[in-house]
Chains A and B, each alone.
Chain A
Amino acid sequence: MKKSRFRFLGQSALFWLAVLAVFLVAEWIVMPRMTEFRKVGWIIFPCIMAVIAMGLNLIYGFNGQFSLGQWGFYAIGAYAAADVTYRFAARVTYPVQGIVFRLPPVLQRVIPMAQVELFHFDAGKSALLLGAVLFGGLLAGLISLGFGYIVLLRLGSDYFGIATLGFTVMVQVLLINSDRVLPETKGARGMIGIPQMTSFFWAFIFLIVVVVVMRNIIYSSVGRAVMSVREDEVAAQAMGIDTLRYKVMSFVVGSLFAGLAGGLYAHLYAFLSPLYFDFVKSFDPMIIIVFGGLGNMTGTIIATFLWALTVEGLRIWLPQGFEAWRFVVYPIALLLLMLFRQQGLLGRRELGFLRAPKWPLRKTVAEPIPEAAEAGAPKEGR
């Protein structure tokens, strides 16, 4: 059978069909059976968290730059996106009449919904959300470009971590004082009146796009350069790799992901408080990527969902009167995990489409291998 030539973001039609299947199963079969609280805490929020963790994994897991600044960029993205929608949400609306059909009772056993809506949404609001989230991400990326370039030029290892920790604290202090410039953020009291627009659809789309982009970065020459910086910076430099450039690049891309995630988070609970962007929380993505295995994309995604399941689940599972034990049980779990599985959940093993592609992927190998070329090795424009 001849392989299909269809490619979107470097992935085959089969991949996108699988993504669609996962989405539909989650949206129609799993999520209607959950309460609102679990739906948000166990499915939508982890999708957002996975985006941040992926970004941090690029910075720390693949590039080896110990950064605690992810939470600061997350905050920047969240407030930037929230501010955009706060201003325009009331004015922008363009409902699209899609197809709404009632489900027959037989199907309702599988899909517990009275009706299914297809392409029935507000295009104006969706475009606004997309624009706001992208704006948050780009703003975070831009700030990280300036900050990263200046700081990475001079600092490495722990000192870079401390500088980025300082950045997170600075962002939080600025947000507490932000009502002097932007009154709608209400400073320390927290921002209200953000339209609640982040659905599973948006969180999932962004997660998939980020995962695919990450995969395409990692298994390219850029990705190899990024990883060589982690392995040995001096050797990488000796091989002619502009280490500063790749460090800044991965920092910017990782922060951009954090900014996107922030935009999604802002419209999830429709409330933002500077307290949430506390530096103590900036260890959450770090915990997740260490739990999933540094430099492991599959591990990061699985770890995010397990982490959310544990942290949110402890609210439910702990018996009556023991709710305050949530953060007593969690650190103990963390400690045991670090004592017995330091290499993370999966170690270095990637699963599924995130595995490294088979070796002669491109024709740019020194000696062209004829059968690989004939077998229709994917041509990725670069």
Chain B
Amino acid sequence: MQKTLGRFTLFLRRRWYIALILVLVLLWLLNHARQNPQLFAQFVVDGLRLGFVYALVALGYTMVYGIVRLINFAHGDVFMIGAFTAYYASTRWHWSLIPTMLLAMVVCSFLAVVIERVAYKPLREAPRIAALITAIGVSFFLEYFTALDFVFTPNFISFTPLPIKFQSWDVAGITVSNIMFIVIGVSTFFLVLLYYIVYRTKLGKAMRAVAWDKPTARLMGIDVDWVISFTFALGAALAGVGGMLYVIVYPQVRTFLGVMPGLKSFIAAVFGGIGSIPGAFVGALSIGMIENLCGAYLSSTLRDLIVFAILIAVLLYKPTGLFGETAKEKA
């Protein structure tokens, strides 16, 4: 038994069969693309759209994990609050897109900083499991408190009218809408902005220093608590934008909205190597794409199964995720 399993695990460590599987999958996809190129392109475009939303949320997970080693389960619910803010701003007060987005960002950042100060900061020296349980507690609280009748109610609420007028065009058989351009444009803008902040400013340098080594960063005169709060705020602002974009794409809001996208984004962050910013981006695009193509060509009910199976396979192949080599250099 032991010997057989040992041989099996040795087999798992071989690299060539991974390449073989990848080639087979690619061939299979190419076959589908050849049969109906327009449909395939449509799925790819939709996958990209979803992937960019996941990317915005995944960055929050990855930055927070990189800096305090906490799987912030409440992040998906901050995302939900962003969606609700967008809903109120655009349907009740008839704000246009950009003010709605800014409001969602501000509300989410504020909420995240409050959560961090109240729930996580006192537990910074505690065992990590305590902070994790707290994160789950905060997540439950946000979900069920907002589901109360005098807050948002537990119902599905449809998001009409949208802050922008829906328009779609037919380009070579593929339906593209202005919403898709907005999602990809806004996400790209924020991703570039985040990249600039983290890698080109002094604050970003402080963030990377804190992620690397907290006591030393403190000795260098960095206000560690402030930097951590800033990281939470930055991640939450991106989640707020993500929430707004998500409900524009799928126009329905609900207080449990954040659970599944939150989990998927988290998976995306792990997939790309948790703690790494480019990893989260690539991971999110892959997860969005895998999810859409699986739903299209394999089985829509078994989609989550396949996504998680691929995640586990990737982790087994490279335990720190695709971009995990920079595991030490967390940002």
Chain A residues close to B by CB (< 8 Å): 66, 149-151, 153-156, 158-159, 161-163, 166-167, 169-170, 173-174, 176-177, 279-280, 283, 286-287, 290, 294, 324-328, 330-332, 334-335, 338-339, 342
Contacts and interface: CB of A to CB of B under 8 A. Distances in A.
B267 interface: yes
Interface in B18-32: none
A177 B319 contact: no
B144 interface: yes
B126 interface: yes
Contacts of B320: 159
B305 interface: yes
Interface stretch (B43-51, B145-153, B236-244): B145-153
A290 B137 CA distance: 13
Contacts of A163: 311-312, 315-316
B141 A155 contact: no
Contacts of B136: 283, 287, 331, 334
Contacts of B315: 154-155, 159, 162-163
B70 to A, nearest CB: 10
A245 to B, nearest CB: 9
Main secondary structure on chain A at its contact with chain B? helix
Which 4 pairs between the two chains have the least Cβ-Cβ distance?
Answer: A327-B144, A166-B308, A334-B137, A331-B141
Given A150-B9, A324-B144, A324-B148, A162 B270 contact: yes
B301 A166 contact: no
Contacts of B301: 173, 176-177
Contacts of B122: 339
A330 B140 contact: yes
Given A324-B148, A325-B148, A342 B130 contact: yes
B224 interface: no
B263 interface: yes
Contact of A335 (B138, B149, B263, B311): B138
A155 B319 contact: yes
Given A150-B12, A324-B147, A331-B137, A173 B316 contact: no
Chain B interface size band reads 35 or more
A328 to B, nearest CB: 5
Nearest to B12: A150
Contacts of B148: 324-325, 328
21 contacts: A150-B12, A153-B9, A154-B315, A154-B316, A156-B319, A159-B320, A166-B309, A166-B311, A169-B263, A283-B133, A287-B133, A324-B149, A326-B144, A327-B141, A328-B144, A334-B134, A335-B119, A338-B126, A338-B131, A339-B122, A342-B130
B129 interface: yes
Contacts of A324: 144, 147-149, 154
A163 B311 CA distance: 8
A150 B133 CA distance: 27
Interface in B112-142: 119, 122-123, 126-127, 129-131, 133-134, 136-141
Contacts of A334: 133-134, 136-137, 140
B312 A166 contact: yes
Contact of A159 (B138, B302, B305, B319): B319
Contact of A331 (B126, B138, B311): B138
Contacts of B126: 338, 342
A238 to B, nearest CB: 22
Most chain A Cβ neighbours within 10 Å, of B8, B154, B263, B319: B319
A375 B149 CA distance: 67
Nearest to A149: B5
A286 B128 CA distance: 13
A155 B315 CA distance: 8
